[in-house]
Chain A
Amino acid sequence: MNDTASEKQPEAAPIIEIVGMHKWFGDFHVLRDIHLTVKRQERIVICGPSGSGKSTLIRCINRLEEHQRGDIIVDGIELTNNIKNIEKIRAEVGMVFQHFNLFPHLTIMENLTLGPIWVRKVPKKEAEETAMHYLEKVQIAEQAEKYPGQLSGGQQQRVAIARSLCMKPKVMLFDEPTSALDPEMVKEVLDAMIELAEEGMTMLVVSHEMGFARSVAHRVLFMDFGRIVEENEPEAFFHHPQHERTQLFLSQILH
């Protein structure tokens, strides 16, 4: 195990706690008996074949999808059907999508300041300073006045990361952040994520980037048919997978 993973072992109450959670799409049982605890500053990578429910799982955490059984507790608040201020929780949970989902009618700067201004009620000037700070961090400050459509995929995804960070979230969810990118742009996005990891951000990342998982993850989960089949520390996970399905999956993605 490498340094970054072992330097900080988080102590405080978990940021996310999922207990016996099930979800159905109509009759389709998409998530089955999910148990998952994410401690503060912990970084988890989720992998698994397409359709295994990875996206659905992390979308349940900020309630873009509703679960039907079991409990999901985020930052001490249980997600229930009659939850009043789901917006409050969502503000604490950053989300980065596979297809970036930037707002095409707003400039990069406006994309970044929208959340802080309207949700956090931060004054415009302060929001712009924060935005500039994060844009510099993802090395894209000179594009602030452009529109998303004028940027490359890799740049757009870095903007999307910066947009989430501007909300100062307590945890960041990533849903295959590099899988819609051309190969030469994957690295710039991963670099931004690695830097974020090194600063101690709590991260839940759906990704098949094994190099990334090795260098930043505390744990790797493997999902198949809606279940978490296996979880382990990265080195053990990649070198000594226990389950047959994990072995098969790893042999496919590692060639």
Chain B
Amino acid sequence: MDERDVADMDEIKPPKSQTGIIGWIRQNLFNGTFNSILTVITLFFLWKTVPPLIRWFFIDSVWTTGSEACYTADGACWSVISNNIRFILFGLYPHDLQWRPLIAIALLVALLAYSRDRRRWRRSLFYIWATGLFVMGLLMKGGLFGLENVDTTRWSGLPLTLLLSIFGMVAAYPLGVLLALGRRSRMPAIKSLCVVYIEMIRGVPLISLLFMSSIMFPLFLPEGLTINKILRAQIAIILFTAAYIAEVVRGGLQAIPRGQYEAAESLGLNFPQKMRLIVLPQALKIVIPPTVGILVSAFKDTSLVVIIALYDLLKTTQSVLSNPKWMGFSSEAYIFIAFIYFICCFSMSNYSRKLERELGAGERH
């Protein structure tokens, strides 16, 4: 092929009907009779449902009124949220002191935002988090520096949900990795211990673990010794999530070719070095999507603590709805907490995709 041919080929453009908005619509919505019919039906349903929803949501809705106005309004009664926002978010936490959990949450969000950037993952970040967590704990519990002591039985609402889920994930992840390594260990005792643990935990629902931790576990403790109720639920959540993480990580470990182990060994790396520097970075990266799936569902599963009478976000909302004044407006209230859960879970999966992209940069297999 000579140069002129190449030049000619470069200049041929795709036909007009393939590009632009018209081209896109034709290609994606009206390619063939069947798809055209589907498109029309879909448009019809959207036209029937979206405008009324928008009206209910925004136009006919009331936002800051009392409950009486809600009964006469045609649209949504967002007043159920605005009137009870402090109880929904902070529950039984002393009313005058609710600025403390508020600051704690703001601090948490700031820390998370700061840690988004992978270039900041240095040793200093660890100390920043340690300090941040200490300050958050201090704000929640008080009892030092003139802050009034607040008993943990009054911790509730959003702070409780975040506490259970974030500590749950942060502790479950390394535990799960250790369990996965243990399950692949050549030492039979360690291996079977891990297998039994993982399979037992995966064999029971989280609810039963929570029940066990809150009702059965204290029976085994010596008289007079009690372990904080939140802590017990926290441990149940950690143990539960770790078993699932372990299985996902095991899958990642299996995907690493023997050659990687052998190359690491032939350089003279010892077992911990080989795992930490070569095997785990690759294995954990492969399993980011399923891992985040587990973390997201662990986050949502924290709402199960209502059954052992912890006042998490879901429970505080239900309490508001049990007030006769607000009884009829559960849709609005649940939409609101669904929105909060969605924001959290969506940020998690969004971040995982970003992380995956960054870690995959430059690699090709």
Contacts and interface: CB of A to CB of B under 8 A. Distances in A.
B365 interface: yes
Given A105-B285, A146-B362, A147-B363, A91 B267 contact: yes
Interface stretch (A29-37, A95-103, A231-239): A95-103
B10 to A, nearest CB: 27
B277 interface: yes
Contacts of B259: 97, 99, 101
Interface string B261-273: 0111111111001
A163 B362 CA distance: 20
Contacts of A119: 267-269, 273
A13 interface: no
A115 B267 contact: yes
Given A97-B262, A101-B259, A102-B263, A118 B364 contact: no
Main secondary structure of the interface of B (DSSP, over half): helix
Nearest to A116: B267
A149 B264 CA distance: 18
B27 to A, nearest CB: 33
B278 interface: yes
Interface centre among B259, B263, B281, B362, by most A CB within 10 Å?
Answer: B263
A104 B265 contact: no
Pick the 3 closest A-B CB pairs, nearest first.
A91-B268, A149-B364, A101-B263
Interface in A139-194: 146-147, 149-150, 163-164, 167
B263 A149 contact: no
A149 B262 contact: no
Contacts of A89: 268
B363 A115 contact: no
Nearest to B271: A87
Contact of A101 (B262, B277, B364): B262
B121 to A, nearest CB: 15
B282 interface: yes
B297 interface: no
Contacts of A164: 266-267
Contacts of B263: 95, 97, 101-103
A64 interface: yes
Interface of B: 257, 259-260, 262-270, 273, 277-278, 281-282, 285, 359, 362-365
A69 interface: no
Contacts of A104: 282, 363, 365
Nearest to B264: A103
A255 interface: no
Contacts, number: 73
A151 to B, nearest CB: 10
A8 interface: no
Given A93-B266, A105-B359, 15 more contacts: A87-B269, A87-B270, A88-B268, A90-B267, A91-B267, A95-B263, A97-B263, A99-B259, A101-B257, A101-B262, A105-B285, A114-B269, A149-B363, A149-B364, A149-B365
Given A118-B277, A146-B362, A105 B282 contact: yes
Given A64-B262, A101-B262, A105-B282, A167 B364 contact: no
Given A104-B363, A105-B281, A167 B268 contact: yes
Contacts of A64: 262, 265-266
Interface string A112-147: 001100110000000000000000000000000011
B362 A147 contact: yes
B278 A103 contact: yes
B265 A149 contact: no
Nearest to A160: B263
Nearest to A103: B278
